[in-house]
Amino acid sequence: MMMEPERIPVHVSLIMDGNGRWAQQRGKERTFGHFEGVESVREISDECLKLGIRYVSFFAFSEENWNRPRKEVDTLMELFMSNMHSQFGNFMEKGVRYVVIGNRSRLSDKFNKTIDSLMEATAANDKMTMILFVSYSGKWDILQAARRMAAAGADDLEPYLATAGIPDPDLIIRTSGEKRISNYMLWQAAYSEFVFTDTLWPDFRKDSFHAALEEYASRDRRFGKVKK
Ligand code: IPE
Ligand code: IPE
Ligand code: MG
């Protein structure tokens, strides 16, 4: 796929939705869809590397998702952890910096250790930054930032957001036909372009991604200004 470099987003974010429905359509348990969804994450992040996208982020688990059945939550946490272990070599080889963002106080010690070691080991990788949002919500982020900003007597919120240092998403893609933000990057999405697709996350692969990037490339971003 050829695209003018200025039409390639710096930061693409994916709200991965529809795993449960994908599995249910096949008469399988919801978790089956989460396993298949991991393949989409791999394919999309590889594609981002190829296209020279600097930041790719994935909304993997929201603060509200803690209210799902315990078994599903446990399976998801195990899945995140085992993938971090199995992908480590791949990240090092490809120069991917890995970052986890969210309310880490709700994660297990074991999971937090895995995250810390992966983030430390990949910190100097500079081809691309891959971000996993886990136990994240936009309201949580704004609240924790506001508290820390007030404690510091400062008046600029941005440096206190959990995403500090990461450019705001240029493009947010949501799969599965839902057209809502579901408490994702509320602050950071102020000027993001949105692409909604009916494709369920486990079916969202290279071709669907290219279609979304093409739609993004056709958008006219004005940021409140008058077009020249
Ligand atoms: C997205 O798929 C994955 C997570 C939110 C963890 P869902 O599990 O929400 O799948 P649907 O929306 O129920 O089909
Ligand atoms: C959004 O999906 C959160 C993630 C993709 C992690 P949900 O399935 O939780 O969203 P709602 O409940 O349909 O809004
Ligand atoms: Mg869902």
pLDDT tens-place string over residues 71-97:
999 999 999 999 999 999 999 999 999
How does the average pLDDT of the chain come out, rounded? 97
Which alpha helices (DSSP H) does the chain contain, by range?
19-25, 30-51, 70-94, 109-122, 138-151, 206-217
At 48, the pLDDT band (50, 70, 90 cuts) reads very high
Q: Which of 16, 19, 61, 134 to mutate to test the pocket of ligand 1 (most atoms within 8 A of CB)?
A: 19
Catalytic residue among 19, 46, 65, 126: 65
Question: What three-state secondary structure class fits 121?
Answer: helix
Instruction: State which amino acid sits at residue 142.
Output: I
Q: Which of 219, 215, 202, 175 is nearest to 13 (CA)?
A: 175
Distance 178 CA to ligand 3 centre (A): 8
The yes-or-no verdict on residue 123 having pLDDT over 90 is yes
pLDDT tens readout for residues 140-165 = 999 999 999 999 999 999 999 999 99
- Taking the complete model, does pTM exceed 0.95, yes or no? yes
Sign of CA dihedral 174, 51, 85, 124: negative
Catalytic site includes residue 65? yes
* CB of 178 shorter than 6 A to ligand 2: yes
Distance 20 CA to ligand 2 centre (A): 11
